[in-house]
Structure 1
Amino acid sequence: MNIIIHPTYFPNIAHFVTIVKAKNIIYEVDDNFLKQTYRNRTYIYGANGKLALNIPVIHSQKNRQKYRDVKIFNEEKWQSLHWKSLLSAYRTSPFFEYYEDELQPLFHTKFNYILDYNFKCLEVIYDCLQLELNTSKSKTYQKTIEGITDFRHLVNAKKESIQHFETYTQVFGDKHGFIPNLSILDLLFNEGPNALNYLESQTITVQ
């Protein structure tokens, strides 16, 4: 399967199920940046349930801004906040310490552009999962692409398609039950090396 998908901030399970099953991946980088999407947001499992981690961005005064041109608002100490949230949520998980050294630099190194940062996060996660992928980037925006399965709709955080994923043990599962389709970090910290097997065994509905 050849797919096109957005590079998002620590993508959720749905994104990663499509990624691990793809033969070739095209990253959509030439579309317009929209609010309320996973481009600059991910969800983790905190002590009080589902918790959003948002990267603040600088919005252009113009109506439209390309995803590739959007800058991060680094005046806010968001990286420190996100790392503290991950520590609070996952330091007791089975595999947090296993991946901590690889992930920590992502929250202590400044990036100017959200797209560059997302690609760096993906690179680290692929390394953690020991994934080798055939990837490329879009050159121009195309609404439809022949011969490509389009998963760009998965970027929309407000209009999620219903997917059914198998349960796995989560740190606060006893408190709030299983929360599906969280950030890949939730799966990684809880399942460790088994995360890839989990992703490969899931199915996703193509819209």
Structure 2
Amino acid sequence: MSLNSLLHPTYFPNIAHMAAIAQSDVVTFEMDDNFAKQTYRTRTYIYAANGRLLLNIPVIYTQKNRQKYRDVRISNTENWQSLHWKSLLSAYKTSPFFEYYEDDLRPLFETKTEYILDFNLRCFEVICDCLQLEKTIEKTEEFKHDVSTASDLRFLVNPKSDVSFQNEKYTQVFDDKHGFINNLSILDLLFNEGPNALDYLEQQHLSL
């Protein structure tokens, strides 16, 4: 029986999110939900010299005017792309596989995108190319609170939802300083494990 998982597109998904994708036969992205702040729609966490570091994409949004996720614009008046790229360089330039993927990822931080959903989908495409991960991708046409045709994993968009997921340890750049940090951005796994990253994702046990 094939597994169809329903998820929100996020900014460089964390390992729990990507493990769910890797272990699914079909991935359905939620395209018609309302936007909410302080979720993985606009943020990802990496392992920097001082520990866990938040990378957050600024968006033009107010709680007063409810908006669909697909309609929320990125605030490109701030030079956030340059900041995020410099943070990645600082954190991972000494990792085993940063140079291997650098040319694939850099354009994401050099070309402006108007909408956050479009940008996140593009990041996902690039990550899949890096992982050599091929999946059947579907997209919703209307929002439904309850779904019967897919495994509903939309809760993974909430940073508080991943506390019970403990992924197996792998070598991280600064683990001699701060120890292993769990469930970071897929970028952390990619830069440290390279071509082994996909096998790693497929072997993780998800208690979702």
TM-score (norm 2): 0.97
Q: Distance in 1 between matches of 2:160 and 2:16?
A: 14
| 76, 79, 86: which one aligns with 1:77 | 79
| 66, 74, 82: which one aligns with 1:64 | 66
**Counterpart position of 2:91:** 89
**Counterpart position of 1:31:** 33
Asked if the contact 1:36/1:158 (under 8 Å) is kept, the reply is no
**Counterpart position of 2:184:** 182
Q: Distance in 1 between matches of 2:69 and 2:59?
A: 11
Shift of 1:82: 0.1
What amino acid is the match of 2:111? T
Q: Distance in 2 between matches of 1:158 and 1:28?
A: 19
Shift of 1:60: 4.2
**Counterpart position of 2:116:** 114
Any idea what the Cα deviations from partners look like across 1:78-102, whole Å, max 9, x if unmatched?
Answer: 0000000000000000000000000
- The 5-angstrom pairing of residues 155-166 of structure 1 reads 155-166=157-168
**Counterpart position of 1:124:** 126
**Unaligned ranges ≥5, structure 1:** none
Any idea what the Cα deviations from partners look like across 1:100-142, whole Å, max 9, x if unmatched?
Answer: 0000000000000000000110000000001111011111110
| 177, 184, 195: which one aligns with 1:193 | 195
Q: How many residues align?
A: 206
| 104, 107, 110: which one aligns with 1:105 | 107
**Counterpart position of 2:137:** 135
Q: Per the alignment, in what secondary structure is the counterpart of residue 94 of structure 1? A: coil
**Unaligned ranges ≥5, structure 2:** none
Q: Distance in 1 between matches of 2:29 and 2:199?
A: 23
| 5, 8, 11: which one aligns with 1:6 | 8
Q: Distance in 2 between matches of 1:121 and 1:178?
A: 25
Shift of 1:51: 0.2
What amino acid is the match of 2:4? N
The percentage of aligned residue pairs carrying the same residue is 65
Q: Distance in 1 between matches of 2:161 and 2:12?
A: 18
Q: Distance in 2 between matches of 1:157 and 1:202?
A: 19
What CA RMSD, in Å, does the superposition of the two structures yield over aligned residues?
Answer: 1.0
- The 5-angstrom pairing of residues 46-57 of structure 1 reads 46-57=48-59
Q: Distance in 2 between matches of 1:74 and 1:148?
A: 35
What amino acid is the match of 1:31? D
Asked if the contact 2:16/2:162 (under 8 Å) is kept, the reply is no
